[in-house]
Copies of this chain bind each other. A is one copy, B any other.
Amino acid sequence: MIRFNSDYLEGAHPRILERLSATNMEQTVGYGCDEHSERARELIKKACSCPEAAVHFLVGGTQANFTVISAALRPHQGVIAADTGHIACHETGAIEACGHKVLNVPGDDGRVTAEAVDAYVREHWANESHEHVVQPKMVYISMTTEIGTIYTKKELAALYEVCQLHGLYLFLDGARLGYGLATPGSDLDLPFIAAHTDVFYIGGTKVGALFGEAVVLVNPELQPDFRYLIKQKGGMLAKGRLLGIQFETLFEDGLYFEISRHALEMAGRLCQGLASLGIPFASSSVSNQQFVRLDNGFCQELRKTMDFDVIQPGETESVVRFCTSWATLPENIDALLAEIHRLKNK
C-alpha cells in the first residue's frame, strides 16, 4: 500500500533523526531554555530578518493556535477566520474551549480577504448594541490554506493594512508554510511575512520534523508572559531541546526550504500526470495538496493499492485528496499515475 493521505505519514527527515541521536546523551536544562533551542531561535529570527521577534517552540498546530489566540485576546474578543479555516472546522472547538468565538467570513478559495475583514469590522462598530456581539480583535489565516491556496505579497499586505487600521492582530498559521513558500507562483518569503503579520508560525510537523511548530511573535504587545501561557495550555515540553534540535537542523543550512521544494516538485509531477490522464481537479490548489474528483467505483478500485483521503463523499463521485511531502518518492507518484492509467483502461 502506498499512501498519499497526508504530509505527516513518515517520521522525520533522516538528518533530524541523526542529530537527535548524536545529541541524545547530552544533559540540558529543560523547558526550552537549552542551547539548542536558543540557537534555533536565533536562526529563525535571522531567517525572518526580525531580530526583535520572540520565538517559541510548540509541539503541534492546534496547540499553537489556541495558545497564541488565548494569549492575545480578552474574553469578549473573537478571531475572524475563513469558514474553511482550521480553527473553524478541525480543532474540536479548541478556541471556544479557551473562551473565544471564531467569527466566520466566507473564504475566497480558502483565503480571508482584506475586504471581508474591513466589512466585518465596520459592521461591528456600526451596530449600536455592539457590546451584545463578540468584538473582532484578530484575523487568522493559513498559508497554505486548508484547500491548498496561497496568499501573495499584495494580498497579505492588504490584509495587514486593514488589520492595522482597525487595531486587529494578524495571525498566520504556517503549519504548511514551507510548502506555501515553495509553491510555484508564490512571491512570499519569511521576512515579508514577519513584516506583515503580528504573529505566525513555521510548521515543522508537516515539513520534515518529527513534530514541532516555531511560533514567531513579531508584535511586542504579544510577547509578555508567553511562556506562562505555553505552560498552562500544556505546550511546555520537558525536553524542550527536542524542538530546538529539530529546528536547528531545519534552519542552519536551508534544509527546510530544500525539502519543501521537493514536495512541490512531487506535486507538480502529480498534477501533470493527473491532468494528462484527464482526472478533473476539484479545487484551485496550487500547493502540495491536490484535490480531484473520482467516480466512486473507480475510487474504490484505486484504494486497493493506493491510500488517500476522501474529503467529500458524494452519491456517484467524491472529492479526494492526494498529498505530497518532503518524503514523497518520485517512484510512488509514478506508481499512482500508472495505477490510475491501468484502471481507466480496464
Contacts and interface: CB of A to CB of B under 8 A. Distances in A.
A182 interface: no
A132 B91 contact: yes
A22 to B, nearest CB: 10
Interface residues of A, number: 77
A211 B31 CA distance: 12
A133 B232 contact: no
A230 B60 CA distance: 12
A136 to B, nearest CB: 11
Given A17-B21, A30-B8, A97-B99, A233 B234 contact: yes
A126 to B, nearest CB: 7
A298 B97 CA distance: 46
A87 to B, nearest CB: 11
A92 B231 contact: yes
A313 interface: yes
A335 B297 CA distance: 70
A232 B17 contact: no
A272 interface: no
Interface of A: 1-3, 5-6, 8-12, 14, 17, 20-21, 23-31, 59-63, 66-67, 70-71, 74-76, 78, 89-94, 96-102, 126, 129, 131-135, 205-206, 210-211, 225, 227-239, 242, 313, 327
Given A6-B30, A6-B238, 18 more contacts: A8-B239, A10-B24, A20-B210, A59-B59, A59-B237, A75-B93, A75-B232, A90-B132, A92-B133, A92-B134, A94-B234, A96-B96, A97-B232, A97-B233, A99-B99, A131-B230, A205-B239, A234-B234
The 10 closest A-B pairs by CB, nearest first: A63-B234, A76-B228, A11-B24, A92-B232, A93-B101, A131-B227, A93-B134, A9-B27, A3-B27, A96-B101
